[in-house]
Structure 1
Amino acid sequence: MVTLTHGNARVLVAPHVGGSIAAFYDENGGAGMEAPFHWLRPATRAAIDARDPLGMASFPLMPYCNRIRDGRFRFEGEMIDLPSGTGQLRHALHGHAWRRPWTVEARTENSLTLHFLHEPDTGHGAAHDAAPGGKGWPFRYEARQHIVLDDTGLSVRLWARNLATRPMPFGFGHHPYYPRTPGTRIAARVRAMWEIDAEVLPVSLNAHPAVDALQAGLVLDDFDLDNNFSGWRREALIEWPQHARRLMLRASAPLDFFVLFSPPDIPYFCAEPVSNTTDWLNLTHAGAAERIDVGGTVLAPGETIEAQLAWLPERG
């Protein structure tokens, strides 16, 4: 674990757990506040010991965000087969970088640079490392996260480069969890919402009451969502009224898509800045990209891509 400090703020990073952020908090909560005050849902000791990224505060999404239907997609005439399980788990989830260790490349008291290298032909025995034609991502690439804690808050610069000798499809983002208390709300400007099927995969892009609610400030208790939103303006304001605290999430292009996960009766929710809609690769192949923007990109050999996201606390 790596601890970053700046004034009263602390960030814990777990490079060995998928390059995840394990906590972001104020060490002293302030007058009348519990100490510490967590801006992201903190990882539990059990999650850290189990090396479970799903129990972290936030983890990176690469080389695609969210699900790929049946763990398969066609790219440049080749069917790519990704690791999958059964039932809903047959849909490949969140790429693979979150399941692998990242290397500490540089660090200071308040910053950290992590590096990740995907070698599809190394034969490590993991399904996601399989060679082309097997179950895995057949494109070699590298990625970095540059994490900085400063006066404004916590920022992460994401960067990746295609090291393969052929074009590579690519999507990325981050998957933060936030504490949820009664009355917690989130505001964001979006254009439309993807309706989903029973397996949480997108089927149509439509207007929805959640789109208007987000504009005004959506109360999480009023909606049961696990949906992608298009036309996101790359800002979202989270408010905890009972704590008089607000947190601004800001992102840069191409993180132009937004995922909101807010099922009822759990003490957390997710608001994710991402570069592609769920199952973007199959939506593109089906021709949907001709009618709507589904995000994602294709990197030429040697081409790079980067984006930045930041969590900016507003303390009452």
Structure 2
Amino acid sequence: MSNEDITLTAGDAEVTVAPANGGRIGSLRIGGVELLRQGAKFGCFPMVPWCGRIRGGRFLDGATVRQMPLNSPPHAIHGTARDGAWRIARAGKDEAVITYDLVEPWPHPARVTHAVTLAEDSLTLTMSVETYGSSFPAQVGWHPWFNRSLDGGDDVRVDFAPAWQEERGDDHLPTGRRTEPKPGPWDDCFGMPDGVDVTLTWPGRIELKVASREEWVVVYDEQEAAVCVEPQTGPPNGLNTLPRLVTPIEPLEATTTWSWRRL
């Protein structure tokens, strides 16, 4: 199969998957209304094999210090797969599966699989990382850019009740201390031990819930055009502070489901 864009439909919901552009979700339209910020860098991109920033681009891989390119100096940010071309494993009317093989600068050969399943009232994204060889630390997550307003309507409201907020240092990375959640604007990581549960409400239009069994979510709303709600398997710099190992017998897998209703 080529890696041209894939369009999925279910009821009046339509999703575009862009394998050639980092495996991202390029569009989510409900009743013809676009929920995701448009543009080559936006939509919703997969963050893998790490999420957010790695301090100095360096992480400990067993006893070896690895250096990733500083694509957000002085840090490395959001993994490598969003810059690559993914392959289509299969595509149907309402489901697509795409894959990406991790290559240099990532030091371990591995395969990422991203399954995208659309229903009339929900979108489910499942990502897994499988190693071809040795074990290594990794993270997976999603970075959606939701439009702040829909067709010039009222700004979106973001509601969630995290157990804590990771204190953010001057370098934008968690200090390791946890604080009471503070009001926005945010570029911050929050802990939700019972699972990510964030509701975005565009008044009078649509209510959308971002859910995941993972307990980490980054919320970024410092841009005028969009708001990001990012479920992920660990905090920023987590390859160093809270590594999750991908092993030959245990891949790393995570799922997020976005469900919506009209208001």
TM over 0.5: yes
Matched, 1:115 2:102: no
Matched, 1:269 2:216: no
The aligned counterpart of 2:260 is 313
The aligned counterpart of 1:137 is 106
The aligned counterpart of 1:193 is 165
- For 1:271-290, list aligned pairs within 5 A: 271-283=229-241
Aligned partners of 2:239 and 2:97: how far apart in 1? 29
Aligned length: 254
The aligned counterpart of 2:35 is 39
Deviation of 1:150 after TM superposition, in Å, equals 1.2
Contact 2:50 2:239 in 1 (8 A): no
Taking only aligned residues, the RMSD between alpha carbons, in angstroms, comes to 1.7
Give the AA of the match of 1:147. Answer: V
Aligned partners of 1:171 and 1:90: how far apart in 2? 20
Give the AA of the match of 2:171. Answer: E
Matched, 1:301 2:248: yes
Contact 1:24 1:40 in 2 (8 A): yes
Give the AA of the match of 2:202. Answer: W
Unpaired stretches in structure 2, ≥5 consecutive residues: none
Contact 1:174 1:273 in 2 (8 A): yes
Residue 59 of structure 1 aligns to a residue whose secondary structure is strand
The aligned counterpart of 2:62 is 76
Aligned partners of 2:111 and 2:61: how far apart in 1? 20
Deviation of 1:199 after TM superposition, in Å, equals 2.5
Deviation of 1:95 after TM superposition, in Å, equals 1.0
Matched, 1:16 2:2: no
1:178 paired residue among 143, 146, 154: 146
Deviation of 1:154 after TM superposition, in Å, equals 1.1
Deviation of 1:312 after TM superposition, in Å, equals 0.7
The aligned counterpart of 2:216 is 257
1:235 paired residue among 197, 215, 222: 197
Residue 73 of structure 2 aligns to a residue whose secondary structure is helix
Give the AA of the match of 1:234. Answer: V
Residue 149 of structure 1 aligns to a residue whose secondary structure is strand
Contact 1:154 1:310 in 2 (8 A): yes
Bigger proportion of residues as helix: 1
Deviation of 1:301 after TM superposition, in Å, equals 2.6
Aligned partners of 2:218 and 2:185: how far apart in 1? 13
Residue 252 of structure 2 aligns to a residue whose secondary structure is strand
The aligned counterpart of 2:125 is 156
Aligned partners of 1:281 and 1:148: how far apart in 2? 29
Bigger proportion of residues as strand: 2
Unpaired stretches in structure 1, ≥5 consecutive residues: 29-35, 48-54, 120-128, 130-135, 214-222, 284-293
Aligned partners of 2:126 and 2:155: how far apart in 1? 31
The aligned counterpart of 2:179 is 207
Deviation of 1:209 after TM superposition, in Å, equals 4.4
Deviation of 1:76 after TM superposition, in Å, equals 1.6
